[in-house]
Chains A and B, each alone.
Chain A
Amino acid sequence: MGGFLRRHKRVIPYALLAPGLLWLVFFYVLPGFQMLLTSFWSGTLETGYEFALSNVSNYSDALVKYSAQFGRSILYGGLATLLTFAISYPLAYTIAFRGGRYKNLLLFLVVAPFFTSFLLRTISWKIILGDTGIVLGPLKDTGLLPDEFRLLATPAAVIFGIAYNFLPFMTLPIYVSLEKIDKRLVEAAEDLFATSFGAFRRVTFPLSLPGVFAGSLLTFIPAMGDYVNAQLLGNPDTTMIGNVIQNQFLTQNNYPTASALSFLLMAGILIAVAIYARLLGTDELTAGGV
């Protein structure tokens, strides 16, 4: 073994890479190409499928037919990302700057809930947000809320569920970028007569932007494609594009339309990410953040 390695030193990295990369080529890259082909199919499972470039109409048909679900995916995904940001930033800030010796324990407490099954967590929210559950029940009993008020099966519940389920993807990158900040910079700003808020606004926050950028992408991308929250916490009028893709693939066996929808989802995500990156103005952001 040793002799062979010494004689063929330059082969080593490629030998190490080959098995894993081949797996990804066969089961990540190739499926992508197949899905592209499938999106140009016409026909059904029974009659068999035929490939034709003219079936590009699969895309326009799908876009027109499911524009409401696309709109909801962008809206719910965007609002959920904003909500996770609002919840995560102060949390990450406290752990990074005031955590002291409890830093690791606090981080552990933030991550621990996500060792529970994704589905069980969402079903638990169904119990908590129920019409007479532990949140709404007492508020209704004391008359603070009208009896017919509900959270479950509303868009709010779907957005809330998505925000909860993808929270660590936001908190951890923000924490990492805050943790990296040289505390002397903040002290310097304060020495130069910046108020604490001024120092935060002009020094700490800008330096944490790479984390905010990475965190929003890591939250927004899975949020756009999610269908579990809409399924378990929403109603038939809150379905997102993921619900349609799932239904077309697994119930209707309409593979061409479902493939076209998946590509449109990817395109939507890429466009949203590009706009976001442009808004933040961010070549150096990605370099430091991801």
Chain B
Amino acid sequence: MATATQTLTQSQASLSERFVRFWNKYLLFIYTGGAIVYLMAPVAVMILFSFNDPAGKSNFVWQGFTLAAWLDPLGVAGLESAVMISIAIALLSTLVATALGTAIALALARHDFVGRSSTNLFIFLPMATPEIVLGASLLTLFVAIGAPPFFPLSFITILIAHVMFNISFVVVTVRARLSGFPTHLEEAAMDLGANEWTTFRKVTFPLILPGILAAALLAFSLSIDDFVITNFTSGATVTFPMFIYAKARIGIPPQVNVVGTIIFLTAVGLVAISTIVSRRRMMRDEAIARKHAIAGT
């Protein structure tokens, strides 16, 4: 009786074991392929419908191929100004947020001071607050002040909001880079007589530059795509996402898909380039380190 049960559980185990092995060998890869197709599907549709000829109808159903939208990508009333406003806000908010955020990251990673851990926690809060609450609470502040430059809502209030939500993302990105580097490079510079400012300029800054660039790229893409917070702080100013939202119900013109495709390809291209460059540099550094190690022995 006991042996019978044992064989039974054993054969069951080997069956599930075989399933797990099969799963590990093939299904996981098939699954991953499927997942990537699923993730990419909306992007493919966006690109495809930039070539659609809606023929007067809304751009929801495929009607026929045309290059018209690509040849005149800003040829819809209001689109050009919306894109320009979005780019201006993204550039300015990236510039300000990157400067402010990098300074905070430096303080957190390289200095010991009273209130450090509470600052750490405080930086996380805006990222953990739902966007709708960030936007709505800013709106109540602007309404309560009720005077320029905060009210009526304008380009400036959008900019204020975008800098606000970008700061934390910059801090986290730059600090991640800083924590990868021990402080002895800076200590060595100081020992050799460099003061704080020179040490920062010649040692720390070049080290964290890739981190700063990554943070700026992230801030720019968060800003140019932001809809929820902008919706609460824009008033009559129309950014690119606001333009899309206004058109969403009646169907967006294919030109919007063209601009969306250009933004997508630019972002992906920049990320690919920065990844390749930083990997090259890492390999070069490793090669140099190896050479030194050999020379040392």
Q: Contact partner of A196 among B17, B46, B112, CB < 8 A?
A: B17
> Which of the residues A3, A13, A35, A250 comes within 8 Å of B111, measured between beta carbons?
A13
B256 close to A (CB within 8 Å): yes
Contact between chains at B231 and A35 (CB < 8 Å): no
Task: Specify which of B20, B126, B139, B161 is in contact with A24 (CB 8 Å cutoff).
Answer: B126
Q: Which residues of A contact B169 (CB under 8 A)?
A: none
The answer on a CB contact under 8 Å between B104 and A1 is no
11 CB-based A-B contacts, threshold 8 Å: A5-B195, A34-B137, A116-B43, A120-B244, A125-B42, A127-B45, A128-B42, A195-B20, A196-B17, A259-B136, A259-B137
Residues of B within 8 A of A3 (CB): 195
In the complex, whether A227 has a CB less than 8 A from a CB of chain B is yes
Residues of B173-208 at the interface with A, using a CB-CB cut-off of 8 Å, are: 195-198
Asked if A259 meets B140 with Cβ closer than 8 Å, knowing A12-B111, A115-B264, A195-B20, the reply is yes
Query: Which residues of A from 24 to 40 have beta carbons under 8 Å from B?
Result: 24, 27-28, 30-32, 34-35, 37-38
Q: Give Cα A196–Cα B257 distance, bound, in whole angstroms.
A: 46
Interface set of B (CB-CB < 8 Å, partner A) = 13, 16-17, 20-21, 24, 28-29, 31-32, 35-36, 38-43, 45-46, 49, 60-61, 99-101, 103-104, 106-107, 111-113, 119, 122, 124-126, 128-134, 136-141, 143-144, 160-161, 163-164, 167-168, 171, 195-198, 221, 225, 227-228, 231-232, 240-241, 244-245, 248, 252, 256-257, 260, 263-264, 267-268, 271-272, 275
Given the known inter-chain contacts A20-B167, A127-B60, please indicate yes or no for A258 contacting B136, CB distance below 8 A.
yes
A79 CA / B132 CA spacing, docked (Å): 20
Q: Are B133 and A119 in contact (CB under 8 A)?
A: no
Q: Which residue in B13, B144, B164, B221 is a CB contact (below 8 Å) of A115?
A: B221
A125 / chain B contacts, CB cutoff of 8 Å? 42
**6 tightest Cβ-Cβ pairs between the two chains A and B:** A225-B130, A124-B42, A20-B100, A31-B137, A13-B111, A2-B195
Count A-B pairs with CB separation below 8 Å. Answer: 242
Distance, CA A227 to CA B99, complexed state (A) = 32
Q: Indicate if A112 sits at the interface (CB-CB under 8 A).
A: yes
A205 at the interface (CB under 8 A from B): no
A56-64, A142-150, A262-270, A274-282: which lies at the interface: A262-270
A226 to B231, CA, bound (A): 13
CB closest residue in chain A, given B143: A255
Select one of A20, A35, A123 contacting B103, CB under 8 A.
A20
B136 touches A27 (CB 8 A): no
Among the listed B39, B160, B196, B275, which residue makes an inter-chain contact with A113, where contact means beta carbons less than 8 Å apart?
B39
Q: Which residues in B have their C-beta under 8 angstroms from that of A119?
A: 227, 241, 244-245, 248
* Contact digits for A10-24, partner B, Cβ 8 Å, 1 yes 0 no: 101110110111011
Do residues B260 and A116 form an inter-chain contact, with CB atoms below 8 A? yes
Q: Which of chain A's residues has its CB closest to B28's CB? A: A94
Q: Does A245 contact B (CB under 8 A)?
A: yes
Q: Do A116 and B103 contact each other (CB < 8 Å), given the known contacts A12-B196, A269-B130?
A: no
Tell which of B29, B131, B167, B232 touches A249, judged by Cβ atoms closer than 8 Å.
B232
Q: Is the CB of A167 within 8 A of B39?
A: yes
A113 to chain B, nearest CB (A): 5
Chain B residues closer than 8 Å to A245, beta-carbon distance:
132, 136
**Is the beta-carbon distance between B133 and A262 smaller than 8 angstroms?**
yes
How far, in Å, is A40 (CB) from chain B's closest CB? 12
In the complex, the chain A residue whose C-beta lies closest to that of B243 is A119
B28 touches A98 (CB 8 A): yes
Are B43 and A118 in contact, with the CB atoms below 8 A?
A: no
**Judging by beta carbons under 8 Å apart, are B126 and A196 in contact?**
no
Contacts of B43 in A (CB 8 A): 112-113, 116, 121, 124
Distance, CA A258 to CA B137, complexed state (A): 10
Chain A minimum-CB-distance residue to B128 = A221
Contacts of A167 in B (CB 8 A): 39
**A16:B264 contact, CB within 8 angstroms:** no
A113 and B228 within 8 A (CB)? no
A21 adjacent to B163 (CB under 8 Å): no
The answer to whether A203 has its CB under 8 Å from any CB of chain B is no
Q: Please, how many angstroms separate the alpha-carbon atoms of A258 and B125 in the complex?
A: 21
Partner among B111, B134, B228, B260 whose Cβ is within 8 Å of the Cβ of A120: B260
How far is A105 from B143 in the complex, measured between Cα atoms in Å?
47
- Do residues B232 and A250 form an inter-chain contact, with CB atoms below 8 A? yes
Closest to B144 in A: A34
CB neighbours of B111 from chain A (8 A): 12-13, 16
Given contacts A108-B275, A222-B130, contact A123 B32 (CB under 8 A): no
- Docked CA distance A122–B43 (Å): 10
- Whether A37 pairs with B35 at a CB distance below 8 angstroms is no
CB of A255 within 8 A of CB of B164, answer no
CB distance from B243 to the nearest CB of A (A): 10
A23 partner residues in chain B, CB cutoff 8 A: 100, 163-164, 167
B232 engages A112 (CB within 8 Å): no
| In the bound complex, CA of A120 to CA of B48 (Å) | 12
Residue A93 interfacial (CB < 8 Å): yes
Would B132 and A21 count as touching, CB distance under 8 A? no
* Alpha-carbon gap, A12 to B200, bound state (A): 12
- Interchain nearest-CB distance for B244 vs A (Å): 5
A98 pairs with B29, CB closer than 8 A: yes
A9 and B5 alpha carbons, distance in the complex (Å) = 75
